């Protein structure tokens, strides 16, 4: 009997054979293990994203949700409440003016890459990508330097779940509580003395007299730190992995860094770190002969939709020339990733600087230690050897 368990080590390591069976044989599948429906075809996921009235985010969007997040912040509210929150946060992004961060991002990338010069072997994640992404997020959000390692450790713990209980464990919840206390401290500091950073801007943001309330400011700050630090770092390791595994693409982008944005889009399609998010049905929905009931949770398997042959011919091939517009690597519709612009900007700069120091490299270990998470997928270590 076919089973699909997004909490299993097997799916953490390689979900793609199971996704293919889901798409071809069980496009609307009830997973006992996940206790939810799984949608795996591109067209069905895209339609669900646009149908946010029936596919609600207000009961949480992560496969295992953290306490008190549901219904309270970006990613866990529906319009019109969601749109109001999003407009206020977007307003802060505009004020921070990401273009003006470009020089700082380049400096952070150069410094992180230079530290690798002369090394015979290094961990792309521990020695490069996580150092880079945490510092970029600290600069953008305005977090005080000194706490980077702990913030990263807690952000990574928050998105994990316990494979045995298929729920958040006490250590994941404790990490979340730590992050909220940390966010509260930074908000208080920024309110007392605002700077040109995202937290200062959105904790004080006002549109037509409307402001975020205290809980919204706290949970949105916590979400931005988690989404920023974990998603950016997680995807960067997938991007590095792809360039290590596909030498033709790597040589092309090293010879012509203007191709890096195309490589990044193809990596977001080929294996986004944001594999699966969930929605909750507000009414019964019939699909592929199945009747899903109001109140049921539905997993939108973005990682599978991106490999759907019905949408992308030769979907299992990493093709630098593909330019996959409209992929699901950043989700889509009203909840499309708010950090997409800063992610695109910073990761192309990071890989450009990395390639100046390490233009050719290969992966050392054939099998990788994958993070235990039902929502995200990325390795915890990626040893590389310069050629
Ligand atoms: C390449 C790295 C990233 C990936 C792959 C990624 C992926 C995603 C995905 C798939 C969603 C949709 C979730 C859903 O459907 O419920 C999302 C939402 C979101 N992301 Fe990202 N993300 C990345 C980086 C970032 C960064 C750097 C930030 C913050 C600075 C961020 C902030 C957010 C927020 C706030 C939302 C919720 C938006 C809303 O509900 O309106 N993300 N992201």
Query: In the 3-class helix/strand/coil scheme, how is 257-269 assigned residue by residue?
Result: HHHHHHHHHHHHH
Distance in Å, CA 230 to ligand 1 centroid: 10
Instruction: Report the distance separating Cα 347 and Cα 105, nearest Å.
Output: 9
- What is the per-residue burial (b if ≥16 Cβ within 10 Å, else e) of 100-125? ebeeebeebbbebbeebeeeeebbbb
Residue 147: alpha-carbon gap to chain centroid: 21
Whether 144 has a pLDDT exceeding 90, the answer reads no
Annotate 88-153 with DSSP letters as a single string.
HHHHHHHHH-GGGGHHHHHHHHHHHHHTTTT-SSEEIIIIIIHHHHHHHHHHHHTPPTT-HHHHHH
Average pLDDT (188-206) is 87
> What is the pLDDT of the chain when averaged over all its residues?
93
228 close to ligand 1 (CB < 6 Angstrom) = yes
| pLDDT tens sequence across 244-291 | 999 999 999 999 999 999 999 999 999 999 999 999 999 999 999 999
Domains of the chain (ranges; CATH) run: 9-386 (1.10.630.10)
Predicted pLDDT at 100: 84
Predicted pLDDT at 284: 98
Nearest Cα residue to 160 out of 379, 11, 371: 371
Instruction: Report the distance separating Cα 346 and Cα 226, nearest Å.
Output: 17
Distance in Å, CA 128 to ligand 1 centroid: 22
For the chain, the helix, strand and coil percentages under 3-state DSSP, each to the nearest 5: 50, 10, 35
Predicted pLDDT at 332: 97
Q: Tokens for 364?
A: 């050392």
Ligand 1: which of 45, 227, 271, 377 to mutate, judged by most atoms within 8 Å of the beta carbon?
A: 227
| pLDDT tens sequence across 240-256 | 999 999 999 999 999 99
Predicted pLDDT at 229: 84
- What's the pTM value of the predicted model, to 2 decimals? 0.94
Distance in Å, CA 1 to ligand 1 centroid: 35
Instruction: Report the distance separating Cα 346 and Cα 102, nearest Å.
Output: 8
DSSP-assigned beta bridge partners for residue 376: 274
Ligand 1: which of 105, 201, 339 to mutate, judged by most atoms within 8 Å of the beta carbon?
A: 339
Whether omega before 80 lies within 30 degrees of 0, making that bond cis, reads yes
Better-scored residue on pLDDT, 315 or 214: 315
Distance in Å, CA 62 to ligand 1 centroid: 11
Predicted pLDDT at 60: 93
């Amino acid at each position: 009997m076919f089973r699909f368990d997004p909490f299993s080590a097997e799916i953490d390591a390689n979900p793609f054979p199971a996704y293919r069976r889901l798409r071809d044989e069980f496009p609307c599948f009830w997973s006992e293990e996940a206790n939810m429906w799984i949608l795996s075809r591109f067209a069905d996921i895209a339609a669900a994203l646009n149908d946010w009235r029936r596919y609600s985010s207000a009961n949480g969007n992560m496969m295992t949700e953290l306490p008190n997040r549901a219904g309270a912040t970006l990613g866990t509210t529906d319009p019109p409440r969601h749109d109001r929150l999003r407009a206020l946060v977007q307003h802060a992004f505009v004020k921070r003016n990401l273009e003006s961060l470009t020089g700082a991002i380049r400096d952070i990338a150069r410094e992180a890459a230079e530290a690798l010069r002369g090394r015979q072997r290094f961990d792309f994640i521990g020695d490069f990508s996580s150092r880079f992404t945490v510092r970029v997020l600290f600069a953008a959000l305005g977090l005080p330097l000194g706490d980077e390692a702990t913030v990263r450790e807690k952000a990574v713990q928050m998105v994990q779940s316990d494979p045995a209980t298929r729920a958040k464990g006490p250590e994941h919840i404790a990490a979340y509580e730590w992050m909220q206390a940390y966010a509260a401290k930074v908000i208080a500091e920024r309110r007392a003395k605002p700077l040109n950073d995202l937290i200062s801007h959105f904790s004080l943001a006002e549109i037509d007299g409307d402001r975020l309330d205290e809980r919204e400011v706290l949970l949105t700050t916590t979400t931005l730190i988690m989404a920023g630090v974990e998603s950016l770092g997680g995807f960067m390791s997938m991007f590095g992995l792809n360039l290590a595994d596909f030498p033709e693409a790597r040589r092309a982008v090293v010879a012509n860094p203007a191709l890096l944005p195309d490589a990044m889009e193809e990596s977001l399609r080929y294996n986004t770190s944001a594999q699966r998010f969930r929605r909750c049905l507000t009414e019964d929905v019939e699909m592929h002969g199945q009747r899903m009931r109001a109140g049921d949770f539905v997993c939108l398997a973005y990682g599978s939709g991106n490999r759907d042959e019905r949408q992308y011919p030769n979907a299992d091939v990493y093709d630098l020339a593909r330019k996959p517009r409209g992929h699901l690597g950043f989700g889509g519709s009203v909840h499309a990733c708010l950090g997409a612009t800063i992610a695109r900007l910073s990761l192309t700069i990071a890989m450009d600087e990395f390639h100046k120091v390490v233009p050719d490299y290969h992966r050392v270990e054939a099998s990788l230690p994958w993070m235990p998470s039902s929502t995200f997928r990325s390795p915890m270590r990626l040893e590389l050897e310069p050629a």
